[in-house]
Homo-oligomer: A and B are copies of this chain.
């Protein structure tokens, strides 16, 4: 990879998400050589991806060039690389662009959509873990409506206008709310010759409440908000199959839908090469101790979604979200410096700052450690927190401007099919010979 050796120890970080970037920033100019590898040349802000999928934001606003983050760091190297394997015996990573030795290795590879082994679902459902996937969802939604205009087959038209979201976590809830707002404010104006009232949004949750990682109060309020917006919320139902047209469940219920978005689970993005002992079957995460050290290795660490740190308080590990990832990244930086300077390591403690979800205009739920609330104020808090978490002044300003515009005008202008998702596969089209 053309990276010169120097007298400083070399730390290789795989992944430039919340965990990797937080770690990299804290290792800045510290007499350590740092190499950051990522498949993309940008960091992306996952919590706002659903707004890219529903035409509220452009992808560039929630992405930030990694090279710009690390521009001023000494002894820092970024490489656009797809890591294929780790050779723990020889302390090196093997990527598409070559091999690289490490002194310390940090896995911050994040997570991907988990279909729990159902290949049919994986083939036919849309996922939303990357920016290209979000753009695919945006294109598909708009393509469906263009196609619905053309068909005279009522079943086909219904299927094109029926949206099924599997999974009632924050992503599913926020997407459902955003789709409901498109239905209300935008689609009737854009498609005057289509009866948009017939559009359906179905949110399916296998458990007995949505947002089940939040408080009961948040679940109840969020469900109420969704129902007000016209979303059908189905609880205690498990989706069992989707052949590209019919969604089947473990009940009598089935849905005829051209668009199923799967937000029902995530799993770690594993890389080959770790001993089997370090791996956890459930959600494919990597077992780490309280110092984020991978079980069985002295010089390999894992942080963020991919890391499973079990404690009394978190027997299933920390939630796979931005906050634990950023905190682990920052904490590991301190521990790595301690390790190199032969000081004693400090165990990681997660500081749960709370969680929140937005359902729509003036509608959000916020759980703080000692205070839970919902409604307009929660919505402003949600916006404020997300805006200030974005990297870069320009992204903050552009997102703010979009939100103000969208709020005042009840509009979303990023409804562009720049990258078509499907070639039009007309099952029926009409000839106008009048």
Q: Which residues of A contact B (CB under 8 A)?
A: 1-5, 40-42, 58-61, 63-65, 67-68, 71, 77, 79-80, 92, 96-101, 131-132, 135, 142-143, 146, 149-152, 189-193, 392-395, 397-398, 401-402, 405, 411, 413-419, 424, 426, 429-434
Contact = CB atoms under 8 A, between A and B. Distances in A.
A76 to B, nearest CB: 9
Copies of this chain present: 2
A59 B52 CA distance: 13
B434 A65 contact: no
A432 B97 contact: no
A418 B63 contact: yes
B42 A101 contact: no
A5 B434 contact: yes
A433 B150 contact: no
Contacts of A40: 416-417
Nearest to A414: B60
Given A398-B401, A416-B41, A149 B79 contact: yes
Given A101-B433, A418-B42, A430-B1, A80 B398 contact: no
Given A98-B150, A394-B402, A131 B2 contact: no
A149 to B, nearest CB: 6
A154 to B, nearest CB: 13
Given A146-B41, A149-B79, A413 B394 contact: yes
Nearest to A42: B416
A151 B97 CA distance: 10
B99 A416 contact: no
Given A397-B401, A413-B65, A434 B59 contact: no
Nearest to A191: B67
A413 B64 contact: yes
